[in-house]
Chain A
Amino acid sequence: EIVLTQSPGTLSLSPGERATLSCRASQSVSSSYLAWYQQKPGQAPRLLIYGASSRATGIPDRFSGSGSGTDFTLTISRLEPEDFAVYYCQQYGSSQTFGQGTKVEIK
């Protein structure tokens, strides 16, 4: 099973700042089958990024994904108030697993 480790656990930032979230895999993720989900309190997760860097329908372009192999990054260029949430990475190249999440909180 591929284990995904997300860092940091919590990111404290102000609106307008740039957020950089990391997801590291225990082995290479085939074909960059890496996705990112956003979960706000009391809500279901929502797909943001798939294929490491493709935005899902309706996702603003301030969200971007990058990386390959074992190291992946989600970047939010300028944090909006609605972006404060928990973000999960998911690999789906070898069955599927989720990371433990990174909470982006208001500083």
Chain B
Amino acid sequence: QVQLVQSGSELKKPGASVKVSCKASGYTFTSYAMNWVRQAPGQGLEWMGWINTNTGNPTYAQGFTGRFVFSLDTSVSTAYLQISSLKAEDTAVYYCARDWGGWLHSPWGQGTLVTVSS
């Protein structure tokens, strides 16, 4: 079955970097784009952007430029989200979600909690 499995929770200090992985299985990785979505504690869903899994070309939503980088390793069907210069307000659950078609997200990874605290 189609599945996205993300890396485990991270605890980082302000100013550090973190890299979250999202390993896909059950389908051809390069046939579907991958989205990233952020959910701050107790808050709603915020689309961060997407990456074309064919070309590796990323597109970032407003507010997610500069410190956020999407990347791929197609040899292991894995997408990555790297966040640099972490701030307390980056504390959130980060989800990867396959683009099912036209910005529909299905399925989603289980989420990765990134906590930024000194």
A residues bordering B, Cβ < 8 Å? 1, 33, 35, 37, 43-47, 50, 56, 88, 90, 92, 95-101
Contact = CB atoms under 8 A, between A and B. Distances in A.
Chain A, interface SS category = loop
A97 B103 CA distance: 10
B76 interface: no
Interface in B75-118: 95, 97, 100, 102-111
B16 interface: no
8 contacts: A33-B103, A44-B111, A45-B97, A45-B108, A50-B104, A92-B102, A98-B47, A101-B45
A44 B44 contact: no
Contacts of A100: 44
Nearest to B6: A44
Nearest to B59: A95
Contact of A44 (B46, B47, B104, B110): B110
A101 B105 contact: no
A98 B46 contact: yes
Interface string B14-26: 0000000000000
Nearest to B45: A98
Interface in B28-61: 44-47, 61
B104 A47 contact: yes
A44 B95 contact: yes
B96 to A, nearest CB: 10
Given A44-B95, A44-B110, A44-B111, A35 B104 contact: yes
A96 B103 contact: yes
Given A88-B45, A98-B47, A99-B44, A44 B106 contact: no
Residue in B47, B95, B100, B103 whose Cβ sees the most chain A Cβ within 10 Å:
B103
B106 A56 contact: yes
Contacts of B100: 47
